[in-house]
């Protein structure tokens, strides 16, 4: 835990626990929300095949995850941490033009 605290510049164990809870909730929620989005777009395993469905599912999850991460992080009082986290993630993905929206 000390590694995470140092790496993320976190001061307390409580803040670390809150951040880990937000990550857990966000991961599950984004996977859950992506399925209805694909269904709304009429994209199913049967219609496009499993080999196309999985990449499309991942492509849908990426922006959904970021939006939900900011929303849930804000509800838990950690907006500053998660905004910074998303900006760094987008920059590593070479999506600087999107990162500017979160700054």
CB 68 within 8 A of CB 76: no
Confidence at residue 19, expressed as pLDDT on a 0 to 100 scale: 93
Average pLDDT, the chain: 88
pTM over 0.85: no
pLDDT bin (cut points 50, 70, 90) of residue 103 is low
SS3 breakdown of the chain: % helix, strand, coil, rounded to 5?
85, 0, 15
Query: Whose structure tokens read 């990449």?
Result: 55
Distances (CA, A) of 84 to 32, 91, 97, 100: 25, 11, 15, 11
pLDDT above 90 coverage of the chain, percent: 42
pLDDT above 70 coverage of the chain, percent: 97
Query: Whose structure tokens read 């492509």?
Result: 59
pLDDT digits (tens, 9 = 90+) for 42-81: 888 888 888 999 999 998 998 899 899 999 999 999 999 9
* Tokens (6 digits) for 32: 């859950």
């Amino acid at each position: 835990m000390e590694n995470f605290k140092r790496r993320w510049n976190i001061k307390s164990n409580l803040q670390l626990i809150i951040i880990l809870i937000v990550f857990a909730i966000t991961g599950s929620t984004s996977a859950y929300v992506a399925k209805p989005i694909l269904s709304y777009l009429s994209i199913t395993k049967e219609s496009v095949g499993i080999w196309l469905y999985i990449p499309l599912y991942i492509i849908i999850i990426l922006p959904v995850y970021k939006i939900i991460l900011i929303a849930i992080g804000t509800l838990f009082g950690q907006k500053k941490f998660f905004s910074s986290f998303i900006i760094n993630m987008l920059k590593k993905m070479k999506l600087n033009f999107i990162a500017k929206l979160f700054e």
